[in-house]
Amino acid sequence: MSTKGGFIVGNYTEREVKVSIRRLNAAIEDIISASYVTYKANIEYFVELSRSNPIIESIVEPFRNIDINFEEIHISYNGHWINEVRLPSSMDHRIAYIIKVFDAVSEKQISLVDFTLKIYKHKRLADNIREYLNDIAVPQLKELLYMLNDLLEDEVQGKESIPEAAFHLINHGTIHASQGSNIGLGKDIQQTANYNNNITNEIMEKIRNIEGLSEEKINEIEVLANEVQEEINNSEPSPGKLKKLATKVYEIGETAALKAFTTAVSDPRWGQAAAETLMGMY
């Protein structure tokens, strides 16, 4: 069996995978918290890491293989300014988009200074870059962090040997809106969800399959499930309240409980609240 970078290609230990994902998490966190002085170096490190570490490459490369057309996303009405960033509805494609932007920045095909100026038009160049990172990059990176946490729990924890195929995150733990709906972005999400089915029942069906939860905790989670359903069905759900509910769910049942909610609630505003909660636990 061949080796690459000190790893046995195609077959990895639990420790190797955890160390690699920890490094990828750190690289993502560095981009999220980057300043004008450090953003380029942090992006370049993320790209270099995703190509030099075989485990991380196996995680990131499938996103690179998704076809992304920047012209269909960066909408310009006059050929110069970018008047709208029309992100794909699929979270896989959103993550692919931001990875390809980072690749283009690292390879000097795109100047993030010039690019973000065309979108936000602030006189201070640092303000344009910070707004792009907060408004567009961070939500997709947070979702990637959530998916990595899901991968560790589902495919890595307690396994003696992990095959390379286990690292493909496409459609693994992602959160999609229902067919025909549009997923909003960050603070600008205005999507109206209409759940005809009782999502509390679906959540609780999954919760009762989690081992180790006492009846008392299950009852507490059911109260939270009803609150989530009520909030999601509002015309404008409160991001702050959803985040508090996600945090309470995690405090009671940790990742398994939060995942049960996320698989039952397709609204991306809940997905964002869950992703932010998990991110705060790293």
Q: Tell me if 75 sits within 8 A of 83, measured CB to CB.
A: yes
Tokens (6 digits) for 128: 């344009």
Mean pLDDT of the residues in the chain: 83
- Which residues have a Cβ under 8 Å from the Cβ of 205 and sit 6 or more positions away? none
Tokens (6 digits) for 100: 């390809």
* Mean per-residue pLDDT, 107-111: 95
Name the CA dihedral angle for 59, 62, 64, 68, rounded to a multiple of 10 degrees.
-140
Smallest CA-to-CA distance from 258 within 273, 274, 280, 281 is with 274
pLDDT score for 10: 54
Q: Report residue 116's pLDDT band, with 50, 70 and 90 as the boundaries.
A: very high
As a three-state string, the secondary structure of the chain is CCEECCEECCEECHHHHHHHHHHHHHHHHHHHCCCCCCHHHHHHHHHHHHHHCHHHHHHHHHHHCCCCCHHHHEECCCCCCCCEECCCCCHHHHHHHHHHHHHHHHCCCCCHHHHHHHHHCCCCHHHHHHHHHHHHHHHHHHHHHHHHHHHHHHHHCCCCCEEHHHHCCCCCCCCCCCCCCCCCCHHHCCCCCCCCCCHHHHHHHHHCCCCCCCHHHHHHHHHHHHHHHHHHCCCCCCHHHHHHHHHHHHHHHHHHHHHHHHHHCCCHHHHHHHHHHHHCCC
pLDDT score for 239: 83
Q: Report residue 18's pLDDT band, with 50, 70 and 90 as the boundaries.
A: very high
pLDDT score for 55: 93
Q: Report residue 25's pLDDT band, with 50, 70 and 90 as the boundaries.
A: very high
pLDDT, tens only, 167-195:
888 754 333 333 333 333 333 333 334 44
Please say if the pLDDT value at position 3 is more than 80: no
Please say if the pLDDT value at position 120 is more than 80: yes
* Mean per-residue pLDDT, 90-102: 94
The domain spans of the chain are 3-167, 186-279
Q: State how far the Cα of 32 lies from the Cα of 133, in Å rounded to an integer.
A: 7
Please say if the pLDDT value at position 99 is more than 70: yes
- Which has more pLDDT, 48 or 158? 48
* Mean per-residue pLDDT, 102-117: 96
Tokens (6 digits) for 103: 């690749």
pLDDT score for 160: 84
Q: Report residue 237's pLDDT band, with 50, 70 and 90 as the boundaries.
A: confident
